Structure 1
Amino acid sequence: MMNFDEFLEATRTRVQEELPDTQVKIQQVNKLQGESYVGISVQPEGAVAAATFNIGPAFERYQADPSQESAILDKIASDARQVSAAIPVFEVNSITDYESAKSHLVMQVVPVEPNKEMLENIPHKTVEDIAVVYRVELPHPEDSSATTLVTNQLLDQYGVTSEQLHADAVAAQLANHPPVLKNMSEMMAEMSGGMFDMPESPMWVATVEGGMNGASVTQLPDFLQEAADRLGGDYFVLPSSVHEVLFIRDDGSFERDQLESMVRGVNATEVSEADFLSDSVYHYDSDDHIFEKAVTFESRVAESPELYGAEPTRDTMTVLLVEPNQHPRPVEIGTELEDLQAAVGGYIEVVYPFDEPVGLVMNEEGKLDGLTLNRALRDDNGEIYDVVAGSFLVVGLTDEDFGSLSPDQMKAFEEKFHSPEVFVRMGRGIMAVPLPDEKVEKQQEKKLDVPELKPHKKVKEEAL
């Protein structure tokens, strides 16, 4: 049984027998996207291009059944004859002469990390974790995907800068393979021959005419802005593969981490190594005209919230709100003085009646203002020594300020103040009577309107 090198040489010999007037040799092929291999190349006499076969799959078939050696080699030789006859004939200067080549440039986007070593020898533009590389389409009437990669050596021969190469590639891409944007429901209808009539999907498919390397549409600024106008604002960009991307309007319906989880799941199960682009989710900012990672966009908004109509992130704490005639409930509020004042309805007073590191934040003038009596405070003997008027907060204490209650503290003080109380004067004293639960339910409509802190969302507000 032959090893790979022996099988490779046997294949070269068999193909040479089939094509005696063709140059046949063993060739190391270095390609992007993990597709490098050792194969057999065939180049007809006088041709400037060669076709190369990856022999790896054929060798695997041979290993599985060595008795099929002759049939496998004959099949490779037959395929080589057909491919050799179809190799396009063209002038070499259509590739090497920049004036001839620039109108046939196309862009391809690939992930940086898996292609890091090859990118050292290729002119490219890095955008976040993806790289834009450039190819020249070969004049092949039956195969629009026949291209040759622009290397640093070829760029030197062109005598142009990488910036000029990019600009010319954008222009050629728009002319030869213009971008296409379709709603997912429209795509599904086309794929089913019109059998499915679905409502508009939140997902839009972006690619180029022909579909090959369609994710390069992310490098067409005018198209990205036109898509924003069509979708109605900012949108997320999901890297479906190197051949297409998905657009989803950034209107609050989807969160970045939710979309990233979806992208990672699809990449792990559905996308081949050759078609993989990224596990990241990207974002297009329609105001600033920026394509970037969604996490980069969020950081930019957080650093300059005033430019994006977003409130600065505020520190919050989770505390217990105790209202008259109501059961206590946890609330999340801001830590600033105005947040505490809003919660109790006026200037605050803080008392520390318990051994636990907690404080009661109450309205300083609750009794003077005639606020509803709320809960009694009792001494170690269970005797009432004061009554809180109006709503109050049970807050945790840090070394420097107020803070959130721990889960145990929240549970303990909810139980302590669970039952609302009504108060009856008895001579010179006062008696607290717990309010039955059915009475509490009837008081729900009388609940004080205490503002709650809404979660801060790092997105720009839509213009009214």
Structure 2
Amino acid sequence: MDFNQFVDEVKGGIKLFLPRDYEDAQVRVEEVRKLNENYLGITILNENQIVAPTFNLNQLYEMYQSDPEISMESIMRNITGVVLDAPEQFELGSITEYEKAKDKLFIRVSSVEKNEEMLQNVPHQIRENLAITYHLSISIDDVGMGSTTITNDILKHYGISEEQLHADAMKNSPAIRPVHVTVMGSMIEQLMGMEPETVLRGEPVQSIAEIISKGMEREDPMFIITNQQTLDGASAIFYPEVMDQIGEGFQGNFFILPSSIHETIVVPDNGEFDYRVLQDMVQTINASEVSPEERLSDHVYHYDVKDRVFERADKFEERQKEKEAQLGKNEHMGKEQNMKQPKTKKHEMEL
């Protein structure tokens, strides 16, 4: 069965698995544009229903093709279960009324270049070549349909500014998807069935500095920054105070490696790491290990603790050179001023 036949079968047969009161439901199949990916989605909207989950048909087809135990019937029954549960799992007002919706806001981060078309239709903020976008968490997260993207139209409906949206999303993100910090060695130990020594799970942001500081006792420490769900967790690096807390733990500047859209890796800028080497590593791993839809960036970033500046590592290097050049220029001018002797004043003499 090819993909088009699969789509036709799901679309034509899904109502046979739904209750009789879904006889007049709309079954929509249309392209869905999301961060880092586009896919063909199917949505079942019953009468008087405004919001419903959308199922990724490309993903379902891939599962159907790769696992012999997954049958068309099991796919249909899974879709049916979610469709019937969805209306009970969230109140429409919790999405359409901003005062109720704002507590469900969280951020995601993605590549500007890969999402240029989508970003034209959604409010966002740019950090270098990364875009922060805003999303609403809904209570059906457990089945993978747990969020909706805030579009320009939704923002207009809410009647608020982009600045207010950003402030509320930044405030609520740590509560909805708490920061999770792990020492790289601990991740390996977890895979080996050992308990990690220094892991932060849903603890206050203030604990990050202590976790980093303790992890620095290891040789060549690297830390994974993500969220508790380890899903779209690269955004956690932009949560309020997170970079400052990491810098406090490192007691100085640090590099940020975009491992994927799900996590970043941070290492101290202590003279032991050259950003070019780190960047080569990121690009190699992106090309060989990370799927295109999960790639965040080929660049390495840097956080300047003193100036509180997040920027690409190459830009940080250029900025430092400019500072040094300006400092040298100022020192040179100061020396020239000191070398100049004051002119003797001429006085008129009266006889």
Q: 1:141 to 1:30 in 2, by over 3 A?
A: closer
Q: Which amino acid aligns with 1:49?
A: V
Please give the alpha-carbon distance, in whole angstroms, between the structure 2 residues aligned to 1:145 and 1:251: 42
Match of 2:51 among 44, 49, 52: 49
Q: Deviations over 1:16-51 (max 9, x none)?
A: 222243325132242324432223222355654323
Distance change (3 Å), C-alpha of 1:73 and 1:196 = closer
Residue 94 of structure 2: aligned partner: 94
Question: For the Cα contact (< 8 Å) 1:33–1:275, is it kept in 2?
Answer: no
Paired with 1:170 and 1:138, the residues of 2 have a C-alpha distance of 17
Aligned residue in 1 for 2:193:
193
Gaps spanning 5+ residues in structure 2: where? 198-214, 330-351
1:195 and 1:2 map into 2 onto residues whose CA distance is 45
Q: Deviations over 1:407-446 (max 9, x none)?
A: xxxxxxxxxxxxxxxxxxxxxxxxxxxxxxxxxxxxxxxx
TM-score, length basis structure 1: 0.59
Aligned length: 304
CA distance in 1, matches of 2:48, 2:150: 23
307, 311, 317: which one aligns with 1:292 = 311
What is the percent sequence identity of the aligned residues?
34
CA contact (8 A) 2:53 2:83 kept: yes
Change beyond 3 A, Cα 1:34–1:237: closer
Describe how 1:33-72 pairs up with structure 2 within 5 A.
Answer: 33-44=35-46, 47-56=49-58
Partner Cα distance (2:122, 2:99) in 1: 20
Aligned residue number for residue 7 of structure 2 = 8
The answer to whether the 8 Å contact 2:226/2:237 transfers is: no
Distance 1:231 1:264 in 2: 25
Give, in whole Å, the separation in 2 of the partners of 1:87 and 1:10: 23
Q: Distance in 1 between matches of 2:170 and 2:64?
A: 45
Q: Distance in 1 between matches of 2:320 and 2:275?
A: 14
CA distance in 2: counterparts of 1:166 and 1:60, whole angstroms = 36
CA contact (8 A) 2:95 2:136 kept: yes
Q: Report if the CA contact (8 A) 1:110-1:242 is conserved.
A: yes
Which structure: larger Rg? Answer: 1
Where 1:245 maps in the other structure, the secondary structure is: strand
Matching residue within 8, 21, 28 for 1:26: 28
Indicate how the Cα distance of structure 1 residues 46 and 294 shifts in structure 2: closer, same or farther if over 3 A, else same: same
Separation (CA, whole Å) in 1 of partners of 2:240 and 2:325: 26
Q: Which amino acid aligns with 1:207?
A: T
Q: How does 1:11-410 map to 2 (within 5 A)?
A: 11-19=10-18, 20-22=20-22, 23-44=25-46, 47-56=49-58, 73-89=72-88, 90-140=90-140, 142=142, 146-194=146-194, 200=218, 201-305=220-324
Higher relative contact order (CA 8 A, sep 6+): 2
1:327-366 deviation line (CA, Å, top 9, x unaligned): xxxxxxxxxxxxxxxxxxxxxxxxxxxxxxxxxxxxxxxx
* Local SS of the residue matching 1:271: coil
| Higher fraction of strand | 1
SS at match of 1:9: helix
Amino acid at match of 1:172: N
Shift of 1:98: 1.1
* One-letter amino acid matched to 2:252: G
Q: Is the 2:36–2:111 Cα contact (8 Å) retained in structure 1?
A: no
Instruction: Decide whether the 8 Å contact of 2:109 with 2:130 is kept in 1.
Output: yes
Amino acid at match of 2:83: S
User: Whose helix fraction is larger, Structure 1's or Structure 2's?
Assistant: 2
Query: Does the residue aligned with 1:274 lie in a helix, a strand or coil?
Result: helix
**Corresponding letter in the other structure for 1:148:** T
CA offset digits 1:386-425 (Å, max 9, x no partner): xxxxxxxxxxxxxxxxxxxxxxxxxxxxxxxxxxxxxxxx
Give the C-alpha shift of residue 210 in structure 1.
Answer: 2.4
Runs of at least 5 residues in structure 1 that lack an aligned partner in the other structure: 313-464
Q: Distance in 2 between matches of 1:217 and 1:3?
A: 36
